[in-house]
Structure 1
Amino acid sequence: MSSTNKIASFELGRVVAMLAILSMHCQLFLGYLHYNDEPWFGYIFNQATRFAVPLFFLISGYLIQPKLTSAPYETLKSYSKPLIRVWLVWSILSLVMPFNLGVVMEHGYIAERTGYWSYLMSAPFNSLLEGGLVHLWFIPALISAIAIIAFLVQSKQSSLIIPIAVILYIYGVLAGSYQTITELEPPFFTRNGPFFATLMVAIGFVIRQKDIHWSSSKSLMVALLGLFVHMGEAWYLHSLGQLFNANDFLFGTAVWATGCFFWLLSKPNLGNSPLVFALSKRVLSVYVSHMLIIIIMINVAGFYELENGARDLTVWLGSVLLTGLFVLGLEKTPLKKVLFR
């Protein structure tokens, strides 16, 4: 174990998860490698990255459990305040930064931004739970999950944490990807808010609270089972009109991510290196900033009319390198205290 007392495998898991999320947001392999006129390689790659966000939630729930148990509301407040600041700052930056430079050059900055602002205002409650750019939904969702758990702990109703989280998750799936079958009308996109995050954070919380451990082989089997179920659900829903790559979470996702989490927990020294710890402490900084860099790289690829593999390599490699340099550069300025936690 590192002298920081952090679990090395969790830090490695966060780095891998962040790379998976960045790669997914680059929209790789969706313009080619078709089968039956559909980009199946891109579809499968996209869904193969969907372990990443729930793994973040699981690790957060595990790490915060002792403080949340001993001082629920105080921990909620101290944990949430810097996250809300980061969410607000990056939401503002996302609202003012133009996404389509071609439209800016042809029609002007206001015309380009007005279209995006109008889109956000068409569903204001949902936009509030996301922020200025779609990936920022993670922060309000995490805070809402911790708030629910803090309330139940403070109310001495800890036994209800998992049941309530399961109900929220089931509704989120049924009113989300399964909406094509259930026709449920949720108040907002169910990936946002408490529906997805609460169960994942709660599982991590309970695993530490009850000191649950699985062997690496059992963890791997559960992870593979969850992956198989997730992909099977996506395949079935695709046949009903739900795009294969449009599923943020399904019933199998929770099982898949939990298996991955237990596997990391069973190998605490995995990834115990200075490089992993250096990268992991910047994961949130990379998360909040990477989408703006990806947007820039997509504009660059479009300007040079790059296609297929050339487009993907340019966008992905440019996004990885520039996001890393961007974060490292900002860390050397006073802006670090404003932009990052």
Structure 2
Amino acid sequence: MSKPNFGGLDWIKFIAAVLVVANHTGPLLTYSGTADFLISNLLTRIAVPVFFMTAGFLFFRKLTDDPRKNRQALRGYMLKTGKLYAIAILLYIPLNIYTGYFSDSFTPYSLFKDIVFDGTFYHLWYLPALLLGLPITVLLYRKLSLKGMLAAAGCLYVAGLLGDSYYGLIQGSNGIVHAYDGMFTVFDFTRNGLFYAPVYLALGALAAKGKPPARTPFANAVLFAGSLGLMFAEGSLLHAAGMPRHDSMYVFALPATYFLFHWAMQWKVRSGKTFREWRVWIYILHPIAIVLVRGAAEATNLEGLFIANSLFHFAAVCLLSVGMAAAAVWLIAISRKFRPARALSSRLS
């Protein structure tokens, strides 16, 4: 049996990582506020859902009817992700110090909130969301049918919407607002592992365990484009009405992510392990690249080109992020080569 080709998923995750950079740099802001809003505030909102759905697909496709092996798979995945999160936390301690993270407002409780829900730097929330959302989704998968799992995760997502882009809908209900205000003392946003991640992980589980949809690549592309257009309209209307408390969660992000995923599964492209690992490190390292680009521009008096010009700033951050990611992957590969030698040396000593 031939090994399945998931090159399309690797490419779409790479594109999603670039979209995350766009979300944090505003590439078109210099030229058009409206165009930048559509790119940086709306299009980029399908990036993290793509990460979650592909993570769910790749994890759940490995599950079997053996509960013991499934528990081992979950523990292994959580341990691997937890190690990555710990490394990321340590990497950002210098920037945390620089930005005043450890100020008077820093407490053991605020640290707990950040580690479990919000991330210790603004982009790191994805990793605790995955660490919390995956066990929740696995529990739903064990207890419910595929449709039931998706429905339960969808209910969590609806609750999250009301604390995010649809927050304005509950403004007239003091009881509900107070309930959400109480939740916001535990976490800053509902785009977290409790409300946001499970539905996309469940969509990935459905893709892994359900019957594959019989659609052509063209059909998936058209459905993705239509869903994305509806998400653009949804986001624009919500912002015009002043609804969002935050703007990470949209209803039409669900079908847009779903159809994009299945379209990417049909791409006849190749990738490799190294390229796959680049995507992870682009995501983790790009805020450092933003700081380095700004610092270098100020040191060389090129602020007008690489800071004031948003498109050049975005391009420079992308290039530096890719370079830093490649270096990180290379260093990790080198360290792996020395591990067997160290292990053998310790056994012989």
- Pairwise same-fold verdict (TM > 0.5): yes
Give the percent of matched residue pairs that are identical in Structure 1 and Structure 2: 21
CA distance in 2, matches of 1:120, 1:250: 33
- Please point out which of 164, 189, 212 is paired with 2:152: 164
- Cα distance, 1:336 vs. partner? 11
Structure 2 counterpart of 1:76, which letter?
L
Retained in 1: the 8 A contact 2:282–2:322?
A: no
1:257 alignment counterpart: 257
Structure 1 counterpart of 2:322, which letter?
V
Structure 1 counterpart of 2:74, which letter?
L
CA distance in 2, matches of 1:326, 1:293: 13
Unaligned stretches of 5+ residues in structure 1: 104-111
Retained in 2: the 8 A contact 1:73–1:150?
A: no
1:215 alignment counterpart: 216
- Cα distance, 1:266 vs. partner? 2.9
- Cα distance, 1:257 vs. partner? 0.7
2:48 alignment counterpart: 53
Structure 1 counterpart of 2:162, which letter?
L
1:224 alignment counterpart: 225
SS at match of 1:51: helix
Q: 1:320 to 1:156 in 2, by over 3 A?
A: closer
Alpha-carbon deviations, 1:197-234, whole Å to 9, x = none?
11111011112212222322321222122211211111
SS at match of 2:63: helix
Q: After alignment, is 192-201 or 136-145 more displaced?
A: 136-145
CA distance in 2, matches of 1:141, 1:310: 32
Higher-Rg structure is 2
TM-score, normalisation: structure 2: 0.78
Q: After alignment, is 17-26 or 171-180 more displaced?
A: 17-26
CA distance in 2, matches of 1:284, 1:157: 32
1:137 alignment counterpart: 125
Retained in 1: the 8 A contact 2:46–2:253?
A: yes
Retained in 1: the 8 A contact 2:290–2:317?
A: yes
SS at match of 2:165: coil
Q: After alignment, is 176-185 or 74-83 more displaced?
A: 176-185
Task: Report whether the alignment pairs 1:67 with 2:59.
Answer: no
Alpha-carbon deviations, 1:224-283, whole Å to 9, x = none?
222112111111122123579x6222001011010101112233xx22255xx5311332
Unaligned stretches of 5+ residues in structure 2: 172-176, 340-349
Structure 2 counterpart of 1:253, which letter?
A
CA distance in 1, matches of 2:96, 2:113: 22
Q: After alignment, is 281-290 or 192-201 more displaced?
A: 281-290
Task: Give every structure 1 segment of 4 or more consecutive aligned residues whose post-TM-superposition deviation is greater than 6 Å.
Answer: 334-337
2:285 alignment counterpart: 289
Q: 1:59 to 1:329 in 2, by over 3 A?
A: same
Aligned residues: 316
Q: After alignment, is 49-58 or 301-310 more displaced?
A: 301-310
Residue pairs, 1:105-144, within 5 angstroms: 112-115=100-103, 118=106, 125-126=113-114, 128-144=116-132
Cα root mean square deviation, aligned: 3.1
- Cα distance, 1:156 vs. partner? 5.7
- Please point out which of 36, 44, 53 is paired with 2:38: 44
SS at match of 2:249: coil
CA distance in 1, matches of 2:338, 2:284: 13
Structure 1 counterpart of 2:249, which letter?
F
Alpha-carbon deviations, 1:173-215, whole Å to 9, x = none?
1211111332342623111122111111101111221222232
Task: Report whether the alignment pairs 1:177 with 2:179.
Answer: no
2:75 alignment counterpart: 77
CA distance in 2, matches of 1:120, 1:252: 38
1:247 alignment counterpart: 247
Q: 1:283 to 1:117 in 2, by over 3 A?
A: farther
Task: Report whether the alignment pairs 1:9 with 2:18.
Answer: no
TM-score, normalisation: structure 1: 0.80
